[in-house]
Structure 1
């Protein structure tokens, strides 16, 4: 009964049967492609075993970090330099860093910005970058300003330096777009003019995420 009904339906509307067959075929092809892509991605993962990049701030110095002028009590005048090492631990993957930018923040507020040159890292290579921040910026908020004055009086200033870049991945001769790398480095720096014996800067590991 059922078979006869389907046959009669196909005789009455052959285009309907053709559409159903095409839809079923496309579904099968799509499922096969997804399974193949998943297996290929798994194989590539085990072959290349991609690892997270790493970064360390090796040295940093605050030549100037003063808050307030007679005309603008909230104006921060700053001069911050640092040397950072970025490492690519991967044995089979090269990395291009594009649109590289460094940011300097105090208490969550950005006070400095420094664009950096793009660079390439081969397998298990390290690159030194040296962001430099200098100028002046209004520091918003009475609490933030009071926090800075307290830190300056204590001889150490807590700042955060961030490094952002768009990655491209090189595998053999192929280059494919990668994720956006975000590096965050919380630093404790001797305040300018700190008394002798104040804690010196210590190399600091950074946090990395995509």
Structure 2
């Protein structure tokens, strides 16, 4: 009875049966493509095993860091840092590279950097320089500044942002945006016999 009913339905509306068949075929193709893409992505992952980039600040110096009564910060900060690509089979392009300097979560310095390419297992030295004057907000910020100044060291954060492109063999594909954060404790300008700078490992996330 059911078979006869379906046949009668197809005889009455052949286009309906054709549409159902095409829909079923498209669903099967889509599922197959997704499964193949997932397997391919898994195979590529195990072949290339991408690793997180690494970054360190090798040296940093504050030659000027003063706060006026109106909370205007005058600063001069130089930083030398190394960014490393630990991957053995993946090259990295760094685009729209920018370095930021922050004090008490307020940005006071900005330095655009040139785009660059890192071959596999390569390191790149970057030297952002920050100088100028910037107004800081908040009475707590001024209070913290005076406290750190009397203690002989300032807590400064240097950030590096870049848009990545990934090179695998001859293929280049868009990658994530890399964000690097480096917390530093730097001797106040003019401090007597400041301690030798110890390299600082930075945090990296995408």
Q: Distance in 1 between matches of 2:111 and 2:146?
A: 25
Residue aligned with 1:24, SS: helix
The offset of 1:194, in angstroms, is 1.4
Q: Are the aligned partners of 1:190 and 1:200 in contact in 2 as well (CA < 8 Å)?
A: no
List 4+ stretches of structure 1 deviating above 6 A: none
Q: Are the aligned partners of 1:80 and 1:132 in contact in 2 as well (CA < 8 Å)?
A: yes
Aligned to 2:177: 180
Among 184, 197, 201, which residue is 2:197 paired with? 201
Aligned to 1:96: 93
Q: Distance in 2 between matches of 1:183 and 1:6?
A: 64
**2:63 paired with 1:66:** no
Q: Distance in 2 between matches of 1:44 and 1:192?
A: 51
**2:153 paired with 1:148:** no
The offset of 1:38, in angstroms, is 0.3
Aligned to 2:42: 42
Aligned to 1:75: 72
Q: TM-score, normalised by structure 1?
A: 0.96
Aligned to 2:27: 27
Q: Distance in 2 between matches of 1:117 and 1:152?
A: 34
How well do the aligned residues superpose, as a CA RMSD in angstroms?
A: 0.9
Residue aligned with 2:50, SS: coil
Q: Distance in 2 between matches of 1:95 and 1:87?
A: 10
Residue aligned with 1:23, SS: helix
**2:51 paired with 1:55:** no
**2:109 paired with 1:112:** yes
Q: Distance in 2 between matches of 1:54 and 1:93?
A: 14
Residue-pair matches, total: 206
The offset of 1:98, in angstroms, is 0.3
The offset of 1:152, in angstroms, is 1.0
Residue aligned with 2:30, SS: helix
- What is the CA deviation profile of residues 47-82 of structure 1, one whole-angstrom value per residue up to 9, with x for unaligned ones? 00100000000000000000005xxx2100000001
Among 111, 134, 139, which residue is 1:137 paired with? 134
Q: Distance in 2 between matches of 1:186 and 1:87?
A: 18
Q: TM-score, normalised by structure 2?
A: 0.98
Q: Distance in 1 between matches of 2:8 and 2:184?
A: 78
Q: Are the aligned partners of 1:190 and 1:201 in contact in 2 as well (CA < 8 Å)?
A: no
Unmatched runs of 5 consecutive residues or more in structure 2: none
Residue aligned with 1:59, SS: strand
